[in-house]
């Protein structure tokens, strides 16, 4: 998989769905020495400790190397509720060092942190879904399916970015005619929504929160009904539970992810205009009307608080591990 906000994320699939649970430990052990050597080399060069991070399920694991090993200062849980996603200058947590720009040291991405801190029930549901797809398609079929999902998402994002950044926007029907068939339905789903989006300020920009030490890439920031809004495009497969979703509570970690992006955007002085709203835009594979799920200031603060709790959990686990130990967040199913 491509780099996410500067952090290289690679997906590793189990050899078989049945043997994955047994073999994962030996694979991690075989890599431990080389990973440890990499982390030691980075520490010798920079003076900053790093470690390897793995997360996901026994069927599909993601890995990131040379990730910052611990939060530089303890997060005071009592202060979390006081931190505002809309007014991040209130933050007083960071040391003087800008660890986000130290060569060889990678900050964890928003998606990685969320992947590492899922609840057991949520992780188990993901694992069971993966098992079901493997039973239907076989392991190779599952891998191909996941690769296709990534390609579809990337193509749709690129098409949307090109459209909303064009000052003389072409007709959406003309755009649809030029798209591959597997993308066309998604595009037709959100075309009416895209017509309502005004001037686009940014697309596909990398973010680094230099005080909370995480990174990510947001999809777009644009005008909508005279307000600046941070936008996140989501592709929804036919038959997916999300196809019937229209509220924030039904979208799993998506609102938490968006709040994390807004917090980093507003904390970054390179973006002079701050956002007070965000929206998740869901594009349906079958071309049915897309859904705009709005997040106002109060909702952003609510999910920002949840994000800070997840962030604190992540850094607490990372900081309590021995030097150079691999941070293993892979879900361990106890339900067979």
| Residues forming the active site | 219, 232, 234
| Phi, psi (rounded to 5 degrees) for 49 | -75, 140
d(CA 266, CA 257): 15
Q: What are φ and ψ of residue 221, in 5° steps?
A: -130, 125
Helix or strand or coil: residue 284?
strand
Q: Identify the burial level of 272 via C-beta atoms within 10 angstroms of its C-beta, where 0-12 means exposed, 13-18 middle and 19 or more buried.
A: exposed
Q: E strands along the chain, which residues?
A: 3-4, 7-8, 10-13, 50-56, 60-68, 200-209, 214-224, 227-236, 277-284, 291-295, 327-328
- CA–CA dist 250, 254 (Å, integer): 9
What is the C-alpha to C-alpha distance for residues 193 and 134, in angstroms, rounded to an integer? Answer: 35
Give the alpha-carbon dihedral of 11, 15, 16, 21, to 10 degrees.
-80
- Assess contact for 328 and 63: CB atoms under 8 A: no
Beta strands 60-68; 291-295: pairing state: unpaired
Phi, psi of 294 (to 5 degrees): -85, 150
CA pair distance 278, 261, nearest whole angstrom: 10
Half-sphere exposure of 265 (CA within 13 A, CB side): 29
Q: Which helix (H) or strand (E) holds 37?
A: helix 20-46
Please state, in angstroms and rounded to a whole number, the distance separating the CA atoms of residues 117 and 75. 17
CB 127 within 8 A of CB 57: yes
Please state whether beta strands 50-56 and 200-209 pair in parallel, antiparallel, or not at all (unpaired). unpaired
């Amino acid at each position: 998989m491509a780099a996410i906000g500067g952090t290289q994320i690679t997906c590793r699939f189990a050899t078989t769905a049945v043997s994955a649970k047994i073999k994962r430990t030996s694979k991690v052990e075989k890599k431990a020495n080389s990973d440890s050597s990499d982390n030691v080399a980075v520490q010798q060069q920079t003076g900053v400790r790093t470690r390897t991070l793995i997360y996901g399920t026994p069927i599909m694991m993601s890995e990131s190397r040379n990730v910052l090993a611990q939060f530089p200062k303890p997060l005071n849980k009592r202060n979390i509720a006081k931190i505002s996603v809309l007014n991040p200058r209130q933050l007083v947590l960071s040391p003087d060092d800008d660890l986000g720009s130290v060569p060889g040291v990678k900050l964890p991405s928003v998606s990685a942190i969320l992947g590492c801190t899922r609840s057991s029930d949520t992780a188990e549901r993901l694992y069971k879904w993966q098992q079901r797809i493997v039973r239907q398609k076989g392991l190779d079929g599952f891998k191909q399916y996941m690769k296709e999902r990534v390609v579809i998402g990337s193509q749709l994002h690129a098409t949307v970015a090109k459209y909303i950044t064009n000052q003389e926007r072409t007709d959406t029907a003309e755009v649809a005619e030029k798209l591959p068939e597997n993308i066309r339905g998604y595009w037709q789903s959100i075309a009416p929504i895209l017509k309502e989006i005004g001037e686009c300020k940014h697309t596909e920009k990398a973010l680094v929160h230099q005080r909370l030490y995480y990174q990510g890439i947001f999809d777009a920031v644009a005008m909508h009904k005279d307000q600046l809004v941070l936008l996140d495009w989501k592709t929804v497969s036919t038959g997916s539970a999300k196809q019937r979703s229209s509220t924030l509570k039904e979208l799993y970690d998506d609102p938490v992810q968006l709040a994390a992006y807004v917090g980093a955007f507003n904390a970054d002085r390179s973006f002079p205009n701050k956002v007070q709203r965000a929206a998740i835009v869901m594009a349906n594979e079958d071309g049915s009307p897309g859904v705009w799920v709005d997040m106002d200031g109060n909702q952003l603060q609510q999910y920002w608080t949840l994000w800070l709790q997840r962030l604190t959990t992540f850094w607490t686990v990372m900081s309590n591990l021995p030097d150079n130990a691999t941070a293993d967040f892979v879900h361990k199913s106890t339900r067979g």
